[in-house]
A = this chain, B = another copy of it.
Amino acid sequence: MTVAIPLSRGRDPLFRQVYQGLRDQVLSGALPAGSKLPSTRTISEQLGISRTVAVLAYEQLLAEGYATGRGGSGTYVATAGFSPRALSHEQSPKLRLSRFGESAVGASDRVKAYQHRKKRLPYNFAYGRSDLETFPFEMWRRTLLRCARKTPVSGLDYGPSAGSPALREAICVHLRRSRAVVCEPSQVIITSGSHQALDIICRVLIGPGDSVALENPSYEGIAEVLRASRARVFPVSVDGEGLDPKRLPRGARLVFVTPSHQFPTGVILPLARRVELLRWAARHNAVVVEDDYDGEFRYEGHPLESLQGLDSEGRVIYVGTFSRTVFSSLRIGYLIAPKQLVEVFTAAKWLCDRQSATLEQEALAEFITSGTYERYLRRVRRRNASRRQALLEAIDAHLGDRVEVTGDGAGAHVVLWPKKRVSEASVVAQAAARSVGVYEISPYFLKPSSHTGILLGYSRVNEKQITEGIRRLGEVL
Contacts and interface: CB of A to CB of B under 8 A. Distances in A.
A410 B298 CA distance: 58
A301 B60 CA distance: 10
B360 A357 contact: yes
B203 A314 contact: no
Given A60-B303, A98-B207, A348-B104, A279 B353 contact: no
Contacts of A145: 141, 144-145
B148 A141 contact: yes
A232 to B, nearest CB: 13
A422 interface: no
Interface string A239-272: 0000000000000010000000000000000111
A354 B173 CA distance: 28
B156 A199 contact: no
A347 interface: yes
A433 to B, nearest CB: 23
Interface in A33-50: none
A30 interface: no
Interface stretch (A61-69, A388-396, A400-408, A442-450): A61-69
A210 interface: yes
Nearest to A192: B353
Interface in A1-48: 11-13, 16, 20, 27
Nearest to A176: B12
A112 to B, nearest CB: 8
A329 interface: yes
Contacts of A360: 357, 359-360
A327 interface: yes
A404 B124 CA distance: 68
A452 to B, nearest CB: 26
Given A66-B271, A354-B195, A315 B95 contact: yes
A358 B339 contact: no
Contact of A199 (B141, B253, B341, B351): B351
Nearest to A164: B329
Contact of A350 (B111, B177, B351): B111
Contacts of A279: 82-83, 86-87
Nearest to A195: B354
A421 interface: no
A94 B286 CA distance: 10
Interface stretch (A221-229, A289-297, A367-375, A466-474): A221-229
Interface of A: 11-13, 16, 20, 27, 60, 63-66, 78, 80-84, 86-101, 104-105, 107-108, 111, 115, 118, 129-130, 132, 140-141, 144-145, 148-149, 153-161, 173, 176-177, 180, 191-193, 195-196, 199, 203-207, 210, 221, 224-225, 228, 253, 270-272, 275-276, 278-279, 282, 285, 287, 301-305, 310-315, 327-332, 338-341, 343-344, 346-348, 350-360
10 contacts: A11-B173, A60-B303, A65-B270, A92-B314, A93-B314, A101-B205, A105-B343, A144-B148, A157-B327, A159-B329
